[in-house]
Amino acid sequence: MAALRDETATARTIVLDVPQWPGHLPGQHVDVRLTAQDGYSTERSYSIASASMDAKLELTVQRLMDGEVSPYLTQTLAVGYPLELRGPIGGWFVWDPDGGSDPAGATAPAAPTPVLLVAGGSGVVPLMAMIRARAEAGNRAPFRLIYSVRDPSAILYGDELTKRERAGDGLEVTYVYTRSAPPGSSVPTGRINAAVLTSAGWPVEASPAVFVCGPTGFVEAVADLLVRVGHDPRAIKTERFGPTGGQR
């Protein structure tokens, strides 16, 4: 544990020094194992937030009120503590900044495939790794992020997203507030709907690669909407996490 950074009132980024980290693709995760003194051990999966070229590995952990692991990681853990990790793992929900979203890289496309990222709450974490990796690799694939959050105080990486968007190199961010929006918000308060996906996403003809990450209900709803507005189901990659016992 090299450093800790509060992202919101309930989410914290854990910065880790991992000896011999082999590097990772954005979207991959690590399994974190905690073992108590009596030998009881438990494991949770967390998405990696940092880009592969970063020297340190970063995880952003959302504290769950009734969680077994997240309160420890977000409140108890201090700089210098060791953590047991396994990873990087997962080879499907990944975007390769060196080869678009096609890991086989069989054909080099003339223009980079546009990417649509749709995040529900802390589902933004692996998508942030993609945004960071894109910038670090100098990849010019146009990115659009649609980020659904409860209210402005729940936004993860808000300042960084604003800065990256202002850099003007092809990242656009649209926030969708489910409970309360700041004054001047361009999108009506509520859940993501087809109109938002159409106006803030890519036209179907652009054939974007799509990554959706969030709680199960969110992912199901967004994936259904994307297919309904005409996106190719094969271009949509999803990652779900549950309220208890699972990822994040």
Partner 1 sequence: MSDYMDGNMLAGKLGELFAVDVTAAVGTCVSCGAAMAIAQTRVYPHAPGMVARCPTCDAVMLRLVRGPDRVWLDMRGVTSLQVAVPGD
Residues that bind partner 1 (CB under 8 A): 29, 31, 43, 45, 86-87, 89-93, 103-104, 215-217, 220, 237-242, 245-247
Q: Which is nearer to partner 1, 42 or 75 (CB)?
A: 42
CB of 216 to partner 1, least distance (A): 4
CB of 169 to partner 1, least distance (A): 29
Cβ atoms of 131 and 211 within 8 Å: the answer is no
Q: Which is nearer to partner 1, 40 or 76 (CB)?
A: 40
CB of 206 to partner 1, least distance (A): 23
Q: Phi and psi for 45 in degrees, rounded to 5?
A: -100, 130
Taking each helix axis from N to C end, the angle separating 158-166 and 124-137, rounded to the nearest 10 degrees, works out to 30
CB of 181 to partner 1, least distance (A): 25
- C-alpha 147/C-alpha 10 separation (Å) is 18
Under DSSP, is residue 118 helix (H, G, I), strand (E, B) or coil?
Answer: strand
Q: Which is nearer to partner 1, 12 or 240 (CB)?
A: 240
CB of 237 to partner 1, least distance (A): 8
- C-alpha 45/C-alpha 63 separation (Å) is 14
CB of 125 to partner 1, least distance (A): 13
The enclosing H or E element of 124 equals helix 124-137
Q: Which is nearer to partner 1, 158 or 215 (CB)?
A: 215
Task: Name 6's bridge partners.
Answer: 12
Handedness of CA 88, 33, 84, 16 (dihedral sign): positive
Could you write out the three-class secondary structure of 203-221? CHHHCCEEEEEEEHHHHHH
Q: Which is nearer to partner 1, 91 or 203 (CB)?
A: 91
- C-alpha 173/C-alpha 137 separation (Å) is 20
Q: How far does Cα 176 stand from its chain's mean position? A: 16
Q: Which is nearer to partner 1, 187 or 192 (CB)?
A: 192
Q: Which is nearer to partner 1, 71 or 215 (CB)?
A: 215
- C-alpha 166/C-alpha 187 separation (Å) is 20
CB of 214 to partner 1, least distance (A): 11
